[in-house]
């Protein structure tokens, strides 16, 4: 679980079996490991410090209602220890397991009701989703063209898809998952905050009480075992076949089919999701260096600008849905907000909106960007290289 290497290039074992080596944006030359405050400490103590920091930061973010707190907390903690000489790394098998859980989380949001809503209004949904994907891809193209971020990193970072899924797919397709995570979760925070402010101040909606999180609910262990067995089996096939992001995509496909057809109930207790998010957060955070942080800070104005442009574009689409199709303005705004699905679902659940319409459009956007994201990324990367 631990390593004494702290390279300036991102070279961790690829869970999909695809070798990845993404150079640091500050330098393509590997620098010798630099000792830090934590370097002299025993490995077990370094892990204990990382675990304690992860609990503390996650708890603070969770109490502050920050979206993605269970992933951001471990990631921030891992960045802190990594840039202070911890020299730790996450083994590929826990990482593959965390991949499979992300696939199950996405599959859980898909049911017959959502599919029925999509089938009824598919022309509207498809046009809106493709517009959002096109806008985010165009932003990524301009950022890559301007060399604000290296390679396909800008393309994945601006992609209006599920943040955690985009981080995993970026790693499998040659992007820098550290910078992609930075961009994606900054976008999630901006979108969630913007949606809450729009509901409260623009539409004068008072949110209902947030549903308390039950960390250790009563669990049907048979259903949980079947869910995990299907997810792990599919992830193993994805790793064996070396399909890019297959350790997430195959569990997503397998558990969606089994869930929709009624063969399994997708039970994912919060404590299990916290473990999966923690592993992914550690994997990303432990690969950070001080050079990467400096580069992310230098690109912050452009990144924030791209997020605001994408949010404004989503607002324009919401205006069209309201004026042309008579859809409730807040419903339209939440449906066209560029992620993340979980934070939008929480806001929608505590406001008087059409929940099925919102979740159907958000789910369709998520599925399409996962399916066509690699193709778009490759196309845009070729155009940038040709230019």
pLDDT attached to residue 350: 58
Chain centroid, CA 160 distance in Å = 10
pLDDT attached to residue 205: 55
Report the alpha-carbon distance of residue 137 to residue 382 in Å, rounded: 13
pLDDT in tens, the chain (387 residues): 434 333 333 334 333 333 332 333 333 333 444 677 887 888 899 999 999 999 999 888 888 776 667 877 888 899 899 888 888 888 888 888 888 888 887 787 777 777 777 777 788 888 998 998 889 888 888 888 888 877 678 888 888 766 666 777 777 777 788 788 788 878 877 887 777 677 766 665 554 445 567 777 777 788 888 889 999 999 999 888 877 667 877 888 888 888 888 888 887 888 888 888 888 888 878 877 788 788 788 888 988 998 999 999 999 999 998 998 888 888 888 888 886 665 576 566 557 777 778 877 887 887 788 778 777 777 877 777 776
- Locate 157 and state its tokens: 């970072």
pLDDT attached to residue 70: 81
pLDDT attached to residue 320: 92
SS3 label, residue 387: coil
Q: Using H for helix, E for strand and C for coil, what is the string for 240-303? A: HHCCCCHHHHHHHHHHHHHHHCCCCCCCCCHHHHHHHHHHHHHHHHCCCCHHHHHHHHHCHHHH
Residue positions counted in the chain:
387
Which long-range contacts link 314-323 to residues 24+ away (Cβ below 8 Å)? 314/132, 314/338, 317/128, 317/131, 317/132, 321/124, 321/128
Q: In terms of Cα–Cα distance, which of 8, 22, 5, 21 is closest to 294? A: 8
- Locate 178 and state its tokens: 């550290």
Environment class of residue 75 by beta-carbon count within 10 Å: exposed (0-12), middle (13-18) or buried (19+)? buried
**What's the CA angle centered on 89, arms 84 and 93, to 5 degrees?**
160
Environment class of residue 324 by beta-carbon count within 10 Å: exposed (0-12), middle (13-18) or buried (19+)? exposed
Report the alpha-carbon distance of residue 246 to residue 123 in Å, rounded: 29
Run of H or E including 342: helix 341-349
- Locate 132 and state its tokens: 């959002």
Please, are residues 339 and 191 in contact by the beta-carbon 8 Å criterion?
yes
């Amino acid at each position: 679980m631990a390593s004494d290497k702290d390279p300036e290039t991102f070279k961790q074992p690829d869970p999909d079996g695809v070798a990845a080596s993404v150079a640091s944006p500050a330098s393509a030359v590997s620098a010798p490991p630099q000792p830090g405050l934590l370097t002299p400490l025993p490995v077990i103590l370094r892990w204990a410090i990382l675990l304690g920091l992860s609990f503390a930061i996650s708890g603070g973010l969770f109490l502050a209602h920050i979206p993605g707190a269970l992933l951001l907390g471990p990631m921030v903690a891992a960045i802190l220890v990594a840039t202070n000489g911890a020299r730790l790394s996450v083994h590929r098998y826990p990482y593959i397991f965390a991949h499979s859980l992300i696939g199950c989380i996405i599959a859980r949001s898909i049911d017959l009701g959502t599919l029925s809503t999509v089938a009824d209004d598919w022309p509207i949904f498809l046009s809106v989703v493709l517009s959002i994907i096109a806008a985010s891809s165009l932003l990524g193209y301009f950022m890559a063209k301007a060399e604000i971020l290296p390679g396909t990193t800008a393309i994945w970072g601006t992609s209006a898809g599920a943040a955690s899924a985009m981080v995993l797919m970026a790693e499998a397709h040659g992007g820098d998952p550290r910078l992609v995570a930075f961009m994606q979760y900054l976008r999630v925070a901006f979108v969630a905050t913007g949606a809450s402010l729009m509901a409260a101040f623009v539409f004068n909606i008072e949110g209902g009480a947030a549903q308390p999180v039950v960390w250790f609910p009563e669990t049907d262990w048979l259903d949980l075992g079947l869910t995990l067995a299907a997810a792990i089996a599919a992830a193993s096939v994805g790793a064996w076949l070396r399909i890019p992001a297959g350790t997430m995509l195959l569990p997503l496909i397998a558990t969606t089919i089994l869930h929709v057809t009624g063969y399994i109930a997708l039970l994912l207790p919060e404590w299990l999701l916290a473990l999966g998010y923690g592993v992914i957060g550690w994997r990303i955070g432990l690969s950070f260096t001080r050079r990467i942080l400096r580069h992310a800070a230098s690109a912050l104005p452009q990144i924030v600008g791209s997020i605001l442009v994408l949010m404004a574009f989503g607002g324009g689409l919401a205006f069209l849905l309201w004026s042309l199709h008579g859809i409730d303005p807040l419903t339209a705004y939440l449906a066209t907000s560029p992620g993340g699905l979980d934070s939008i679902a929480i806001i929608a659940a505590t406001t008087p909106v059409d929940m099925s319409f919102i979740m159907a459009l958000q789910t369709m956007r998520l599925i399409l960007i996962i399916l066509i994201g690699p193709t778009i990324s490759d196309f845009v990367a070729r155009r940038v290289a040709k230019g």
